[in-house]
Structures are given as structure tokens and as C-alpha cells.
Amino acid sequence: MKIGHAAIDAVKAHGAEGYPHEICGILLGPRGGRTATEARRARNIVVERARDRYEIDPRDHIRIQKEADANGLDILGYYHSHPDHPAQASRFDTERAWAGYVYVIVSVANGEPVDANAFVADSDGGPFRPEPLETV
């Protein structure tokens, strides 16, 4: 998976701003491609466990999908942060994964982004496998 500098910078900035809670969003790119050129913020609707859980607001998901369609883009994947934890997929993350999408996790320690990793699942619900993440 390739991700543009502006897109990964946006993910990291979102993670820092949302700290100490998990943030989430959607990665967009040109149709049929494998390069995420945009990171679109979504609202995390989890309230009680926002430090270690996320769920994208379905209304944001629909809105971003419509905007992507109108602009000739595809949803290539999703992103979220792990406040004060490594950028590694948790069991919760894996169980909720959809096949065919990349999942980028950014680790945010003390309000500063420190690392980002990508994962893909070959079938819904995992298991995840690491996906090389190349910034372009």
C-alpha cells in the first residue's frame, strides 16, 4: 500500500489532536489504484471506551463514500490511532476487519505520533497480516 505524504501527515495530525482518545477515518485514492491520496476524518462514536476502541460514525461513512464517488475516488482503507500503545492490530481491530481494505494504525504517545503500520485481512474478521506501507 502506498500513501501520500499529505494523507499520512493528516492521519498523524488527527491522532495527535484526538489524544488521549482513539480517532478514526477513511483513506481514499483514485479508482482502481493502491495509493491513498486523502485521509478523511470520521467521528468516533464510542464514548465509554474511547481510549481503546473506535467505531466510525455510519453517517460519516456514508457521506465520505458519496463524496468519494462524486470525485472518482475509492475507499481504499481505514485508519485509527492507538493512544499510548504500539501501532499493532488488537484482537478487537482484527475481528472487525473487512477483507480487501487496508487498515492503518498510528501510535500516539503522550500526544505525539510515533509510528504507523498497515494491515490487511484476506477474509472478513481476519486474521490480519502486515502490509508494507510506503509513503510517496
pTM: 0.96
Catalogue all structural domains in the chain, each as residue range(s) with its CATH number: 2-135 (3.40.140.10)
Q: What phi and psi, each to the nearest 5 degrees, are found at residue 53?
A: -145, 155
Continuous H helices in 1-136: 5-18, 58-70, 91-95
Q: What phi and psi, each to the nearest 5 degrees, are found at residue 11?
A: -60, -45
**Helices H / strands E in the chain, number of each:** 3, 9
- pLDDT tens column, 88-114: 999 999 999 999 999 999 999 999 999
Q: Evaluate the CA torsion angle 78, 54, 7, 73 in order and state its sign.
A: positive
Yes or no: say if 26 and 64 are a contact pair by the CB < 8 Å rule.
yes
Yes or no: say if 27 and 82 are a contact pair by the CB < 8 Å rule.
no
Q: In angstroms, how far is the first alpha carbon of the chain from the final one?
A: 10
Assign 5 a pLDDT band (cuts: 50, 70, 90).
very high
- pLDDT tens column, 42-90: 999 998 888 889 999 999 999 999 999 999 999 999 999 999 999 999 9
